[in-house]
């Protein structure tokens, strides 16, 4: 299992911005000191809300999210009610899945990730709803075929149940293609000054020892739609290059690295350069590979521990928003998939015809397996 939940865009010069709204719901069993249920909302991978079974309150995590109450004074109260109501459904789901997997004890997680992406230039919208258990995909909604897919045998029961529930399917079609994008656009407008800012990173070239790869490390950039790659004689290279994922810093910015395994002599290093591209920024940030720029070269005694610690902190922030509530996720062949399991009927969610369209309500319309 891999602690992960951020999606990122490799842009290679593209300046259009794809915004995203994602909700993560996690029920846990056997995890000491961790809430039995946690829900987290993110806009453009910035946390906007948090609720758990200990605090029993859904609260804003960004100042600009208080704008939601200006339009709807009951917004946070209503979402709190939804959060509290969903705890039992997810908790029951864990027990059902433990039975399906013939488990009696241990640590188990049942998760759901639901949301949408919106390209503010083309207007294209993509919706997703994925469930998983213990880091593996369980059930995924295919918006194109309007049916559920079960990557694991234990999810087939749920697939058949939900495929037969036309009202639930109609709800998800509506939510993922219309309601979710509408809320996403609202949230982007609320946080425009923050979400649509751009911050360039500081870039360092790191090498632990003379035989180690050279790591190009960019940190402090925003938004997370970025790319980092190596060029040789002006051409991008892939052989000998290992690109890392975009990770969050604890100040709301992001970081990433690209490692280059060198076979050339130091005299030829000048042919290489590390290129950083950021969504919405026209000019590339180019760092030439020069021996004098390397930090940590040779014995490794001056290797920048602070940079390594920063990466570890980013991973911890990524992993869990653990205080904010995040979870085991797996990157499968079809993208980032989340685990969620619950065998009570999905009809326990709010009536799809209800006029309530707030964020948390929508995402919970199918949590029961």
Residues forming CATH 3.30.500.10 domain(s) in the chain: 2-8+17-194+319-363
What is the CB neighbour count within 10 angstroms for residue 88? Answer: 16
> What predicted TM-score, i.e. pTM, was given to this entire model?
0.72
The CB density around residue 66, as the number of other CB atoms within 10 Å, is 12
pLDDT at 357: 41
φ, ψ for residue 307 (rounded to 5)? Answer: -65, -40
The number of residues making up the chain comes to: 369
pLDDT at 367: 58
CATH 2.60.40.10 domain locations along the chain: 202-318
Cβ density class 111-141: b for 16+ within 10 Å, e for less:
bbbbbbbbeeeeeebbbbbbbbbbbbbbbbb
CATH H-level, domain 2-8+17-194+319-363: superfamily: MHC class I-like antigen recognition-like (3.30.500.10)
For residue 250, what pLDDT is reported? 84
**3-class SS at 293?**
helix
Each of the 369 residues of the chain gets a pLDDT tens digit; together they read: 333 333 333 333 334 578 999 999 999 999 888 899 999 999 998 899 999 999 999 999 999 999 999 989 999 999 999 999 899 899 999 999 999 999 988 999 999 999 999 998 899 999 999 999 999 999 999 999 999 999 999 999 999 999 999 999 999 999 999 999 999 999 999 999 998 899 999 999 999 988 899 999 999 999 888 999 999 999 999 999 999 999 989 888 999 999 999 987 888 899 999 999 998 899 999 999 998 888 874 434 344 444 444 444 333 333 343 333 344 444 333 333 333 333 333 333 332 223 334 444 444 444 567
Please state the φ and ψ torsions of residue 229, each to the nearest 5 degrees. Answer: -150, 170
Task: Tell me if the bond preceding 145 is cis, omega within 30° of 0.
Answer: no
CA 186-191-195 angle, to 5 degrees, is 115
By CB atoms closer than 10 A (0-12, 13-18, 19+), residue 342 is buried
Contacts of residue 290, Cβ cutoff 8 Å, sequence gap at least 6: 269, 270
SS3 316: helix
Question: Which pLDDT value is given to residue 210?
Answer: 85
Pairing of strands 294-295, 202-206: parallel
CATH code for the domain defined by 202-318? 2.60.40.10
């Amino acid at each position: 299992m891999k602690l992960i939940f951020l999606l990122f865009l490799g842009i290679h010069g593209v300046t259009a911005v794809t915004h995203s709204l994602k909700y993560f719901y996690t029920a846990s069993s056997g995890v000491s000191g961790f809430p039995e249920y946690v829900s987290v909302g993110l806009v453009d991978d910035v946390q906007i809300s948090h609720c758990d079974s200990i605090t029993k309150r859904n609260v804003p995590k960004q100042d600009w999210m208080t704008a939601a109450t200006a339009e709807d004074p009951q917004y946070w109260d209503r979402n709190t009610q939804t959060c509290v109501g969903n705890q039992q459904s997810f908790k029951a789901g864990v027990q059902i899945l433990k039975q399906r997997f013939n488990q009696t004890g241990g640590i188990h997680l049942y998760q759901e990730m639901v949301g949408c992406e919106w390209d503010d230039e083309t207007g294209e919208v993509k919706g997703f709803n994925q469930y998983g258990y213990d880091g593996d995909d369980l059930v995924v909604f295919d918006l194109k075929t309007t049916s559920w897919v079960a990557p694991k045998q234990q999810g087939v029961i749920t697939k058949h149940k939900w495929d037969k529930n036309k009202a639930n399917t109609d709800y998800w079609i509506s939510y993922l293609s219309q309601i979710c994008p509408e809320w996403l656009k609202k949230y982007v407008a609320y946080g425009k000054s923050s979400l649509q800012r751009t911050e360039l990173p500081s870039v360092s070239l790191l090498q632990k020892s003379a035989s180690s790869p050279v790591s190009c490390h960019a940190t402090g950039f925003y938004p997370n739609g970025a790319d980092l790659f190596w060029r040789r004689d002006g051409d991008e290279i892939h052989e000998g290059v290992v690109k890392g994922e975009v990770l969050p810093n604890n100040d709301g910015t992001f970081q990433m690295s690209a490692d280059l395994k060198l076979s050339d002599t130091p005299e030829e290093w000048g042919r290489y350069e590390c290129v950083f591209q950021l969504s919405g920024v026209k000019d590339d940030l180019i760092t030439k590979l020069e021996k004098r720029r390397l930090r940590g070269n040779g014995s490794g005694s001056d290797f920048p521990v602070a940079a390594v610690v920063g990466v570890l902190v980013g991973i911890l922030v990524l992993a869990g928003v653990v205080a904010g509530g995040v979870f085991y996720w797996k990157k499968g062949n079809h993208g980032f998939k989340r685990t969620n399991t619950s065998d009570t009927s999905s009809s326990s969610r709010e009536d799809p015809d209800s006029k309530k369209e707030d964020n948390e309500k929508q995402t919970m319309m199918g949590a029961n397996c």
